Amino acid sequence: MANLIRMDLRRMFRSPMFFISLAVIGVFNILLNVGFTAAARFFVPTEVMPPATLTSSIVSPFYLPFFIILMFASLVSFSYADIANGYIKNIAGQLPHKSSTIISKFIVIGLHNLLFLAVGSLTNTLGNLMLSGMGMIHFVNDGMALQAILTLLLKWMLSMALASILMFVTIGIKNKILASIVGVIIGTGSLGLAYMGLSTAADTVFRTDGFDLGEFMPDTLFNAVSVGTNTAVINAVIVSLVCIAIFMTLTVKVFDRSDVK
């Protein structure tokens, strides 16, 4: 397993898609943060800007929410690369359990997602420090850095739950295009409307009041979870673990029973 992980780490760090996606998020986090704030100051110079906090910089790793699509695109590209070029056949044929390749990929994707979230938070913070240095905003340490880091770790867990879904489509079903589409749908928040409709239907059928399916979905929880305000913390942990357990098990079973080509 250690050799598989080292091999997958090497593949990931040699992937142009990984570095391009990571660089785009980092650069545009700073450019958009500074650019939009500077534009607001230019056009409305008398507007009082609310202070930016260290917590907000850490817990919102992507300045634009759909930047997460780039993380998913890199994830899908990495997951499918050895399948696309047939390299997986050479590796899986030498292993007692070919599903070991999936476990290895999932571990490496854990580092992949952590790097994306960390770079996002760091560049958000850097952008706010630059704005503060230029006198455009007040950037303050609100004393909740630990809660913010714990929130980011919960978002990492939720990102791994979403990764398990994308891995099932990419590796289990072996459909990179479908996985990319699913990643875009999740990243744009399009499923929110479906959750609202299903929640309304559940309220009608079961005569419940205020049922919200989104409270049990990893993509919605990714944006809602907060340790500082104790929002959806338990839900995030449980949903992450259940989602990972279900989809990783499905991926392993399907992959073990299919021919490696």
List per-residue pLDDT tens for the chain, 261 residues long.
888 899 999 999 999 999 999 999 999 999 999 999 888 888 887 777 788 999 999 999 999 988 999 999 999 999 999 888 766 766 766 766 777 889 999 999 999 999 999 999 999 999 999 999 988 889 999 989 999 999 999 999 999 999 999 999 999 898 999 999 999 999 998 898 899 888 888 888 887 777 889 889 999 999 999 999 999 999 999 999 999 999 999 999 998 887 666
30, two tokens:
């700073």
Under 8 Å between Cβ of 54 and 142:
yes
Under 8 Å between Cβ of 176 and 161:
no
Note the Cα 32 to chain centre separation in Å.
Answer: 20
* Domain enclosing residue 55, as ranges: 2-257
Show contacts of 174-181: CB within 8 Å, 24+ apart.
174/83, 174/258, 176/76, 176/77, 176/80, 176/84, 179/76, 179/79, 179/80, 180/72, 180/73, 180/76
Closest CA relative to residue 54, chosen from 118, 112, 140, 116: 140
Under 8 Å between Cβ of 75 and 109:
yes
Domain count, the chain: 1
Q: 10 Å Cβ neighbour count for 93?
A: 9
Under 8 Å between Cβ of 74 and 22:
yes
Rounded CA separation 150/205 (Å) = 38
The residue assigned the tokens 């913010």 is 148
Kindly report the pTM of this predicted structure.
0.93
